[in-house]
Structure 1
């Protein structure tokens, strides 16, 4: 029993000596952040392209007199843009804190 108490006491003494460690970036964090920046750029590019495509398709459907499917595409692209933008803001608030 005394051996167990001694080892527990030594553990507490060792943990008390740790102190306040300084934060350090994990390995490869610069590559991960570069990947996140690339994906952000890709999300903005794809949103812009989808709105341009939906606008062109809207004009074509209006001109040809067929059924209008493109307003759904424009709304979907805009909702996707809002989600992508707010996700970046939330992640900046969480990571930047």
Structure 2
């Protein structure tokens, strides 16, 4: 029992190494992040225009929900990296 523990204790702390093709995966993640930010900006602009149209035409106001949803989605999308860094660590 003592020899097994000594052998396991001598393994040490391995250094992390990036897997093969990880640069392509990170590039895809950057593209998806860019797309999420672009879609959030477009949705806020669309909801703002729709809000102005609904206010001008006197229709039912559906767009404040759209603006709130776009803003909440933006907060979640932009904080995903921070949350993962806090969970996984550096």
| TM-score between both structures, scaled by the size of structure 2 | 0.80
Q: CA RMSD in A?
A: 2.0
Please point out which of 26, 31, 43 is paired with 2:36.
43
Structure-1 residue corresponding to 2:67 = 74
- Number of residue pairs matched by the alignment: 87
| TM-score between both structures, scaled by the size of structure 1 | 0.75
Unaligned runs of 5+ residues in structure 1 are: 1-8
Q: Of the two structures, which has the highest relative contact order with CA contacts closer than 8 Å and spacing of 6 or more?
A: 2
Give the structure with higher Rg (CA).
1
TM superposition outliers: structure 1 runs of 4+ over 3 Å? 14-22, 92-96
Unaligned runs of 5+ residues in structure 2 are: none
Deviation at 1:85, TM superposition (A): 1.4
Please point out which of 84, 87, 90 is paired with 1:91.
84
Structure 1 stretch displaced more, 46-55 or 87-96: 87-96
